[in-house]
Chains A and B, each alone.
Chain A
């Protein structure tokens, strides 16, 4: 099956610093990728849609200047949490639809990145 990877799997950073999370589709191309955030015992909440070659689309209430998304290639999207604060501590998960271009497709999820801001 399709594989989506994330790096790092966990990261601890100090308040005020920035941290970058990578999401890669390993065996398929993804013109679109999605970034979710999941707090303990809560739903996955869509943060933004990452589009290769164009600007990301952010969900209501998500600060685009704080959560920078770059879709550098057909297999890589990055999420940078800028000036991180303890309330940004969460489980960040990316996903990619396969195959791209169809209106109803399976979404394959990465293994997630646990961010802890101290």
Chain B
């Protein structure tokens, strides 16, 4: 069974204080790993897709990296508007082409 574990559950940062969120996964064969941002009472917003170990992607203050067992979402000099829940999900090879298995998320709060 595919599993995704995110840590920490919650993270509180001061504006400008860089940090990383972790996503550990167990999957029979990884087709892709996804990062989403979710604001309260809203649906998830797509951030990144990573396909293979060693891959990195960046968007503004966010950078996602992938190894064979985990992914990191690095946040550089965060701003209050980066406050949200960050979700990690994996898609496995075989079975349903589109099924995503999500972690519980990391609630990030950035204080001004």
Contact = CB atoms under 8 A, between A and B. Distances in A.
A49 interface: yes
A104 B91 contact: yes
A26 interface: no
Contact of B98 (A42, A97, A112, A114): A97
B100 A107 contact: yes
Interface residues of B, number: 26
Main secondary structure of the interface of A (DSSP, over half): strand
Given A41-B104, A44-B87, A104-B51, A110 B43 contact: yes
Contacts, number: 61
Given A43-B105, A49-B98, A109 B31 contact: no
Nearest to A57: B96
B112 interface: no
Nearest to A91: B41
Question: Interface range on chain A: under 10, 10 to 19, 20 to 34, or 35 or more?
Answer: 20 to 34
A49 B49 contact: no
A46 B43 contact: no
Contacts of A110: 43
Point out which of B43, B51, B100 has the most chain A C-beta atoms below 10 A from its C-beta: B43
B33 to A, nearest CB: 11
A42 B41 CA distance: 13
A2 to B, nearest CB: 9
B104 A42 contact: yes
A106 interface: yes
15 contacts: A6-B43, A43-B105, A44-B44, A44-B87, A44-B100, A45-B102, A103-B97, A105-B98, A106-B34, A107-B98, A107-B100, A108-B46, A109-B45, A111-B43, A112-B43
Interface of B: 4, 31-32, 34, 36, 41-46, 49, 51, 87, 89, 91, 96-105
Given A44-B102, A114-B41, 15 more contacts: A43-B102, A43-B103, A43-B104, A44-B89, A44-B100, A93-B43, A103-B31, A104-B49, A104-B97, A106-B34, A107-B100, A108-B46, A109-B44, A109-B46, A111-B43
